[in-house]
Chains A and B, each alone.
Chain A
């Protein structure tokens, strides 16, 4: 159900504004209305104006925002660690915190800079180590004389190596050696050894052929090649140790100060949120006004808290909701525990408007009923029941899955009940095994036409219920003509249904004539209330009723698939193969049997039922809260 809301105005002296906002935030039952239309009368409009922050409050806000930015900057440098809870009252130490945070931010920034420098160096050194590490086992075969020059290259394709060898041979008259190895990432890396005098020429050719040369850092470049690996390892060790030392220092800092700064930041968030809301308030020279909405059941608590906290200095006034306010009233749904999981379906669509009706209770009754009528198999129902229980147990902390499992639980119970009524347990298998000769009410496999009539009857009842709710909604929204149109539609549909029964001689034939006369009388009324498109709307309603034939159609498809599963299993002539085949077919049918009825039951509600009375476009109730 849509919770009844109360239009509330809170009035108090200007100096108490932030305390009042703080209380409202604590209670979490009041939504501030940004638009003052409907709250301030036209004659008072020149006396009341939007709240303007005084100089002191403005300075306070700037100070808070600045401090929050500094703390954020500090947190950017710190590692994310679980810290202890701080019970510090930030309000009393804000000035000291503002001074300390500057110093701490500077220290942490410097540590971060050093850390970044170590990290980059380590990354670079690791790249060289990967190169040299791949070549190290082969270096023994190479003549490492100091008169030689070494050039490291990475070769992308094996064909490029051949071309490189040819070019080197031509340039150096075969006075070179090359070692190749696969790097850790699969790249082919090579080390060319040649006389120092030829090195420049070779480098130019490598550049022309786009073969990237690996250049070593300046500190390593001057050192003879064989010593480079050792030095590289030493440097990597030093950089790793430096990085670990900085990390430990930052972690120590975070453990010591993190909780305090987190507490201050959270306090600042609260204060800034309150100051932000101040912009939506109104004031005169002496007092402030907060306009908004509170659920009816929470108004008394709000009044009591305001009275006890401010000793009568702040007044909570209940105001009348006018016709022009109806579209402005926020909407919150409050349903009994049985209906609550079905709000999941309501959340898939836009919220209904305040003066409309919450469809949740109707879908909570209709959805499992249609689901059960379509699937209608006790065996499948028992499996779904077990599945829903397991799902609900595993995901009891996740709201959406828990709601879905509850819906499935209720739907599976209906499936079992309809399965017993239809005499179906994994198709006709249960009936055969249990020796049940006849279904309790109807055997869907054979009684196709009666099932069709039954589905259409359900459809007519559902559509008429929707239209009745539409009449109520239209009256609530004070649109009399729409209410009349929906009422006329109900009468016309009932007349058409009885006329059909009369013409097919299910009802007395004598009724046909008076019913035709009634219909003729209703046609002008239909045009008067619904305009030129009224017949189209009527046809749409009739089409909606026919659409409920899907309850029979999908149900029949489901039962026939179950029958096919059992027949195939019987045809194998082998117990094991038969059982396996039956399990496979029934699993497929069960999966289809869950999705198809769910989607169609939903669709019957969303399209055929909701369209009669739900007016979408409601504003969500978003109270000021922690």
Chain B
């Protein structure tokens, strides 16, 4: 039973941030594409903006790994 809870916790730890990241990236990506079309010199900034929300899912993944390693 404990293993079940651990697995569920790990799934939530990685799943919820993944949804949040996906939502954030969809918004940033759409706005970023529009920005690059008008100002290509902002490509670097847009890459940064787009990669920022990935921190959530990566940290979620790390937490999930730690939970499963317990």
Q: Which A residues are within 8 Å of any B CB, using their own CB?
A: 345, 347-349, 448-449, 452, 546-547, 549-550, 552-554, 556, 599-600, 602-603, 606-607
* In the bound complex, CA of A550 to CA of B61 (Å): 9
B35 interfacial contact with A, CB 8 Å: no
Report yes or no: B59 in contact with A448, Cβ–Cβ below 8 A.
Answer: no
| Selected contact of A547 from candidates B55, B61, B66, B69, CB within 8 Å | B55
* In the bound complex, CA of A24 to CA of B70 (Å): 70
Residues of A contacting B54 with CB < 8 Å?
Answer: 550, 600, 603
Known A-B contacts A448-B69, A547-B55; the reply to A552 vs B48 at CB < 8 A is no
Report yes or no: A602 in contact with B58, Cβ–Cβ below 8 A.
Answer: no
Residues of A contacting B65 with CB < 8 Å?
Answer: 448-449, 452, 553, 556
Residues of A contacting B51 with CB < 8 Å?
Answer: 599-600, 602-603, 607
Report yes or no: A553 in contact with B47, Cβ–Cβ below 8 A.
Answer: no
Nearest CB on A from B16, distance (A) = 16
Report yes or no: B58 in contact with A348, Cβ–Cβ below 8 A.
Answer: no
* In the bound complex, CA of A525 to CA of B59 (Å): 31
Residues of A contacting B59 with CB < 8 Å?
Answer: 546-547, 549
Question: Nearest 4 CB-CB pairs, A to B?
Answer: A348-B44, A603-B51, A550-B58, A349-B44
Q: Which residue of B lies closest to A345 (CB)?
A: B44
Known A-B contacts A448-B65, A448-B69; the reply to A554 vs B48 at CB < 8 A is no
The listed residue with most B CB atoms (<10 A of its CB), out of A547, A550, A556, is A550
* In the bound complex, CA of A599 to CA of B47 (Å): 8
**Could you tell me which residues of chain B, from 43 to 70, have a CB within 8 Å of some CB in chain A?**
43-45, 47-48, 51-52, 54-55, 58-59, 61-62, 65-66, 69
Known A-B contacts A348-B43, A448-B69; the reply to A549 vs B48 at CB < 8 A is no
Report yes or no: B48 in contact with A607, Cβ–Cβ below 8 A.
Answer: yes
Nearest CB on A from B12, distance (A) = 17
| Selected contact of B47 from candidates A347, A449, A603, CB within 8 Å | A603
A-B contact pairs, 19 of them (CB 8 A): A345-B44, A347-B44, A348-B43, A348-B44, A349-B44, A449-B66, A449-B69, A452-B62, A452-B66, A546-B59, A547-B59, A553-B61, A554-B58, A602-B47, A603-B52, A603-B54, A606-B44, A607-B48, A607-B51
Nearest CB on B from A373, distance (A) = 15
| Selected contact of A606 from candidates B48, B62, B66, B69, CB within 8 Å | B48
* In the bound complex, CA of A602 to CA of B65 (Å): 25
The listed residue with most A CB atoms (<10 A of its CB), out of B47, B52, B62, is B62
Residues of B contacting A345 with CB < 8 Å?
Answer: 44
Looking at chain B's contact residues, the main secondary structure is: helix
Residues of B contacting A607 with CB < 8 Å?
Answer: 48, 51-52
Residues of A contacting B44 with CB < 8 Å?
Answer: 345, 347-349, 606
Known A-B contacts A449-B69, A600-B51, A603-B51; the reply to A549 vs B62 at CB < 8 A is yes
**Could you tell me which residues of chain B, from 3 to 47, have a CB within 8 Å of some CB in chain A?**
43-45, 47
Residues of A contacting B69 with CB < 8 Å?
Answer: 448-449
Residues of B contacting A547 with CB < 8 Å?
Answer: 55, 58-59
| Selected contact of A603 from candidates B43, B48, B62, B66, CB within 8 Å | B48
* In the bound complex, CA of A192 to CA of B20 (Å): 70
Q: Which residue of A lies closest to B57 (CB)?
A: A553
* In the bound complex, CA of A611 to CA of B65 (Å): 29
Residues of B contacting A554 with CB < 8 Å?
Answer: 58
Residues of B contacting A600 with CB < 8 Å?
Answer: 51, 54
Report yes or no: A553 in contact with B58, Cβ–Cβ below 8 A.
Answer: yes
Q: Which residue of A lies closest to B43 (CB)?
A: A348
Q: Which residue of B lies closest to A547 (CB)?
A: B55
Report yes or no: B47 in contact with A552, Cβ–Cβ below 8 A.
Answer: no
Q: Which residue of B lies closest to A544 (CB)?
A: B55
Name 8 extra pairs, CB < 8 A, besides A452-B62, A549-B58, A550-B55.
Answer: A347-B44, A549-B59, A550-B54, A553-B58, A556-B65, A603-B47, A603-B48, A607-B51
Residues of B contacting A448 with CB < 8 Å?
Answer: 65, 69
* In the bound complex, CA of A400 to CA of B45 (Å): 18
The listed residue with most A CB atoms (<10 A of its CB), out of B44, B45, B52, is B44
* In the bound complex, CA of A347 to CA of B40 (Å): 12
Residues of B contacting A449 with CB < 8 Å?
Answer: 65-66, 69
Nearest CB on B from A341, distance (A) = 16
Nearest CB on A from B6, distance (A) = 15
Residues of A contacting B58 with CB < 8 Å?
Answer: 547, 549-550, 553-554
Q: Which residue of A lies closest to B50 (CB)?
A: A599
The listed residue with most B CB atoms (<10 A of its CB), out of A549, A554, A602, is A549
The listed residue with most B CB atoms (<10 A of its CB), out of A347, A348, A547, A552, is A348
Residues of A contacting B45 with CB < 8 Å?
Answer: 349
Nearest CB on A from B13, distance (A) = 12
* In the bound complex, CA of A600 to CA of B47 (Å): 10
* In the bound complex, CA of A224 to CA of B64 (Å): 91
* In the bound complex, CA of A318 to CA of B28 (Å): 49
* In the bound complex, CA of A607 to CA of B47 (Å): 11
